[in-house]
């Protein structure tokens, strides 16, 4: 694979280093439609194979049994799905197990490894190979003279970061990125450090993920979170699952879907692709089902909108409900609308003014199917709408999430059992990060409380998000970049542009567990600071420590690692933050060292600063933890009108221009964001291939493309610049015409830095405007033969 950038764009100094993410690409790619149920024995087999490969069959299973337990144990870092409320002892999934095992590997990246491999050499390795080397063991600093990472003591490492931060003309020349698995306590310290330094530059993965959900819910309901919990999922009459590949990315949701089906609830999936979760599952911890190979349906209706067509579909459903209400007053909950909402008349007018033809065209869904979905919604006493990235990573992501709320408000599906909006968050603590202060646009009230309790004077000026951080690097305005977890270089859009930005920094610092691309695409000076993983024991002066996390449904609970640390030289994330803070702020009156001795002390301060964290230390130790109050759930709306706000936004035009396709980037089954476990995507029937484009057969035919033909994919950005990937293989798939899909992070090359939503500032990762043509660069191999670039 190679990527070319627009000649108008400034080339990156080492644009030769393109992401080469795949695992073992030498094997022949295969594509065979997958017909088996999700989870069940297929998942069990895959886990066994994975545990064998990682050599974890001794420690692995024992540790895994401790995952997601109500008392003790650690929270699965795999996703943000809540733990079973009945304290289910085997509340885990294939991908969670893979994720944890990946952290628990016995392989190590030590000083000998770095001595043997210069950065220039490592830069040629695939991303899979980098992470596959195992756990980082001690702090390393980049030595430009030899192009090697060499060992450095923790003390010197902290001093290096501290002096760089102290030497800045303006604290806004630094940015502090957070990847969403950082626990609440280190999160709180991290934002405190940034604000004590004087900046709100706190970009995070949320800027690429659910920013749109937060902003929409805030505008509609006054608080940027969902209102439901698992009990609601268990009692609802209708579940609408939009834009999420649950079988791969939130597999524990499968159990909830199967149970909903079993008790007769309606389960409607809205996705351009009919994903595995929209078919059947075998519930992995239901031993009878497993033994009898008994699968349960997980869907009663599948709707395939075009990419970006969700808002039109939702508006169509609302229009149908409003039309029905003329003869059937029960179709609307007029009492709820009158009492609790604002802006209904305007919304009704917008719905009435939009023609069915327009709704069909924009959604890509025939009217009869829109009506089918509306009927399910009308007939349900209680409905939940759940969504993930298929809804958020669009130009109009905020409007679409607000349209979800509009629909819910029409029938009073809020503030009562079994009803409400339910975003599925990504990283296991991404929601907690926001709650605990990672926000480049903090509220004045939060800053005032923080300042008062912690005795600092936080800056009021808004900070930079992910995209703004990269742009500031290019302007030379951002000199120090600290990444608290994650893999910024690969996760961010416009790969060569992001690389060049990072390389322009004076210092890049990454707190990580494994070697990744971000360590190799570094600033003039660079540090790798290795930390304890979530599975590992964190021993401090007062004894063993635990940190807390908040799941998608606002439950906060403790997570306690029990494994022996991968190396004696690892520090915990809180300890690393405190070390940097002390070096950067020598005169600080914040008791950094005292906090680290006992995390209860951090929690006591958090209880004073954060809404809903009163009595934090006691409540977090309750079985299953505690739920942060969600005012909208109690029908208290912190909006200017004091009511839930209807949004009457205009319908966007999402129909691709002739000859172009709308392309969504997504995850395969065997990957965790930028971490790739293998080149397979089991539920989509793919083996040994990541450099692919899923296309509608008719779109392929029109272009003279057949299965596995090499193609060039060219994206045109808003500013007219173009970015291409060549030699990808076309795969015919059940996807609406005009739509295409492929994998992140390889395809981030196609996503221009300037193409972010004007509503959420999120990069438009699910809606790239592309052309796909037969690749001229590579001669077409005979069908089934080894494609040239993979051979």
- 577 vs 644 by CB, closer to ligand MGD: 577
Find the shortest distance in angstroms from Cβ 129 to ligand MGD: 13
- 212 vs 556 by CB, closer to Mo ion: 212
Find the shortest distance in angstroms from Cβ 581 to Mo ion: 27
Find the shortest distance in angstroms from Cβ 553 to ligand MGD: 15
Q: Cβ contacts of residue 615 below 8 Å, gap of 6+?
A: 607
Single residue of 91, 131, 538, 645 touching ligand MGD by CB under 6 A = 131
- 713 vs 765 by CB, closer to ligand MGD: 765
- 207 vs 341 by CB, closer to Mo ion: 207
- Contact present, 273 and 306 (Cβ < 8 Å): no
Instruction: State both tokens at 536.
Output: 């590992």
667 binds ligand MGD, rule: CB under 6 A: yes
Separation in Å, CA 100 to CA 56, 59, 125, 544, 678: 11, 11, 24, 20, 16
The CA radius of gyration of the chain, in Å to the nearest whole number, is: 25
Give the whole-angstrom CA distance, residue 434 versus residue 429.
Answer: 9
Task: Identify the helix (H) or strand (E) that includes residue 741.
Answer: strand 739-743
H helices within 295-396, ranges in order?
310-325, 334-340, 344-353, 356-363, 367-379, 389-392
Which residue(s) pair with 709 in the sheet? none
From Mo ion, ligand MGD, none, which one binds at residue 771 (CB under 5 to 8 Å depending on kind)? none
**Interacting stretch for ligand MGD, rule CB under 6 A, among 162-170, 293-301, 509-517, 713-721?**
509-517
63 binds ligand MGD, rule: CB under 6 A: no
Find the shortest distance in angstroms from Cβ 78 to ligand MGD: 6
Find the shortest distance in angstroms from Cβ 449 to ligand MGD: 27
Separation in Å, CA 581 to CA 154, 201, 584, 588, 598: 13, 15, 5, 8, 17
109 binds ligand MGD, rule: CB under 6 A: no
- 412 vs 574 by CB, closer to ligand MGD: 574
In the chain, what are the helix, strand and coil shares in percent, each to the nearest 5?
35, 20, 45
Closest CA to 211 of 762, 771, 764, 770: 762
Give the whole-angstrom CA distance, residue 261 versus residue 280.
Answer: 10
From ligand MGD, Mo ion, none, which one binds at residue 671 (CB under 5 to 8 Å depending on kind)? ligand MGD
Closest CA to 552 of 176, 252, 308: 252
Single residue of 488, 499, 595, 733 touching ligand MGD by CB under 6 A = 488
Give the whole-angstrom CA distance, residue 319 versus residue 324.
Answer: 9
397 binds ligand MGD, rule: CB under 6 A: no
DSSP output for 369-383: HHHHHHHHHHH-SSE
Single residue of 83, 275, 333, 399 touching ligand MGD by CB under 6 A = 275
Single residue of 171, 198, 272, 742 touching ligand MGD by CB under 6 A = 272
DSSP output for 142-177: EETTTTEEEE--HHHHHHHHHHHHHT-SSGGGEEEE
757 binds ligand MGD, rule: CB under 6 A: no
From Mo ion, ligand MGD, none, which one binds at residue 272 (CB under 5 to 8 Å depending on kind)? ligand MGD
209 binds ligand MGD, rule: CB under 6 A: yes
Give the whole-angstrom CA distance, residue 608 versus residue 454.
Answer: 9
- Contact present, 266 and 236 (Cβ < 8 Å): no
Single residue of 383, 516, 525, 759 touching ligand MGD by CB under 6 A = 516
Single residue of 447, 502, 531, 700 touching ligand MGD by CB under 6 A = 531
**Interacting stretch for ligand MGD, rule CB under 6 A, among 223-231, 389-397, 497-505, 770-778?**
389-397
**Interacting stretch for ligand MGD, rule CB under 6 A, among 406-414, 457-465, 564-572, 668-676?**
668-676
348 binds ligand MGD, rule: CB under 6 A: no
Query: Would you tell me which residues interact with ligand MGD (CB under 6 A)?
Result: 78-79, 95, 131, 179-181, 205, 208-209, 242-245, 248-250, 270-273, 275, 305, 307-308, 310, 388-391, 393, 426-427, 484-488, 491, 511-514, 516, 531, 533-534, 573, 664-667, 671-675, 744-745, 747-748, 751, 765-766
């Amino acid at each position: 694979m190679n990527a070319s950038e627009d000649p108008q764009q400034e080339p990156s100094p080492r644009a030769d280093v393109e992401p080469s993410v795949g695992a073992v690409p030498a094997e022949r790619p295969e594509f065979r439609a997958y017909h088996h149920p999700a989870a069940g024995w297929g998942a069990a087999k895959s886990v066994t194979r994975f545990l064998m490969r990682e050599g974890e069959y001794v420690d692995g299973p024992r540790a895994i049994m401790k995952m997601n337990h109500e008392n003790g144990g650690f929270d699965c870092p795999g996703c943000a799905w809540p733990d079973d409320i009945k304290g289910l002892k085997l509340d885990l999934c294939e991908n969670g197990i893979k994720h944890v095992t990946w952290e628990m590997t016995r392989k190590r990246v030590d000083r000998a490894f770095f001595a043997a491999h210069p950065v220039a050499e490592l830069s040629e390795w695939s991303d899979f190979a980098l992470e596959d080397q195992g756990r980082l063991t001690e702090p390393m600093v980049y030595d430009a003279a030899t192009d090697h990472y060499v060992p450095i003591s923790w003390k010197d490492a902290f001093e290096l970061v501290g002096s760089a931060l102290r030497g800045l003309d303006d604290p806004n020349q630094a940015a502090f990125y957070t990847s969403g698995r950082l626990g609440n306590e280190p999160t709180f310290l991290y934002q405190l450090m940034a604000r004590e330094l004087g900046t709100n530059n706190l970009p995070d993965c949320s800027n690429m993920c659910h920013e749109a959900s937060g902003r929409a819910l805030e505008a509609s309901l006054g608080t940027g979170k969902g209102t439901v919990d698992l009990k609601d999922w268990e009692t609802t009459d209708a579940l609408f699952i939009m834009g999420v590949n649950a079988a791969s990315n939130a597999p524990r949701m499968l159990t909830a879907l199967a149970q909903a089906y079993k008790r007769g609830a309606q389960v409607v999936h809205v996705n351009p692709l009919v994903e595995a979760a929209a078919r059947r599952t075998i519930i992995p911890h239901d031993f009878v089902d497993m033994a009898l190979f008994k699968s349960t349906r997980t869907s009663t209706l599948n709707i395939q909108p075009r990419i970006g067509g969700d808002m039109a579909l939702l508006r169509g459903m609302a229009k149908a409900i409003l039309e029905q209400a003329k003869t059937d007053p029960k179709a609307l909950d007029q009492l709820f609308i009158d009492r609790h909402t604002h802006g209904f008349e305007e919304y009704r007018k917008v719905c009435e003014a939009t023609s069915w033809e327009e709704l069909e065209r924009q959604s890509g869904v025939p009217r009869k199917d829109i009506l089918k979905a509306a009927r399910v919604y009308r007939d349900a006493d209680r409905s939940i709408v759940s969504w993930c990235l298929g809804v958020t990573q669009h130009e109009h992501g905020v409007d679409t999430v607000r349209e979800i709320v509009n629909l819910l408000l029409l029938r009073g599906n809020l503030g009562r059992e079994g009803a409400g909006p339910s975003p599925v968050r990504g990283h296991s603590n991404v929601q907690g990060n926001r709650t605990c202060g990672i926000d480049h646009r903090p509220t004045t009230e939060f800053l005032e409380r923080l300042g008062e309790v912690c005795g600092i004077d936080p800056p009021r000026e808004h900070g930079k998000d992910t995209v703004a951080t990269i742009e500031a690097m290019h302007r030379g305005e951002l000199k120090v970049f600290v990444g608290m977890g994650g893999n910024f270089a690969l996760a961010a859009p416009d790969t060569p542009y992001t690389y060049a930005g990072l390389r322009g920094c004076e210092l890049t610092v990454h707190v990580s567990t494994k070697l990744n691309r971000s360590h190799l695409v570094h600033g003039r000076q660079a540090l790798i600071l290795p930390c304890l993983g979530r599975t590992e024991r964190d021993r401090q002066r007062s004894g063993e420590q635990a940190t807390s996390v908040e799941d998608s449904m606002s439950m906060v609970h403790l997570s306690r690692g029990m494994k022996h640390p991968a190396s004696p030289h690892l520090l915990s994330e809180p300890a690393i933050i405190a070390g940097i803070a002390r070096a950067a702020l020598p005169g600080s009156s914040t008791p950094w060292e005292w906090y680290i001795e006992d995390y209860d002390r951090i929690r006591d301060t958090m209880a004073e600063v954060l809404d809903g964290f009163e009595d934090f230390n006691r409540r977090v130790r309750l079985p299953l933890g505690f739920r942060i109050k969600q005012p909208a759930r109690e029908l208290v709306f912190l909006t200017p009108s004091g009511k839930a706000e209807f949004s009457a936004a205009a319908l966007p035009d999402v129909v691709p221009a002739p000859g172009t396709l709308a392309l969504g980037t997504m995850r395969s089954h065997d990957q965790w964001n930028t971490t790739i476990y293998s080149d397979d995507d089991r539920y989509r029937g793919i083996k040994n291939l990541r450099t692919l484009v899923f296309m509608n057969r008719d779109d392929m035919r029109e272009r003279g493309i057949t299965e596995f033909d090499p193609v060039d994919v060219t994206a045109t950005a808003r500013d007219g610049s173009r970015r291409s990937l060549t030699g990808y293989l076309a795969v015919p798939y059940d996807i609406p015409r005009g739509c295409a899909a492929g994998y992140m992070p390889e395809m981030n090359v196609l996503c221009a830095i300037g193409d972010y939503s004007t509503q959420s500032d999120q990069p438009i990762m699910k809606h790239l405007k592309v052309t796909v043509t037969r690749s001229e660069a590579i001669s077409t191999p005979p069908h089934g033969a080894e494609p040239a670039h993979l051979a």
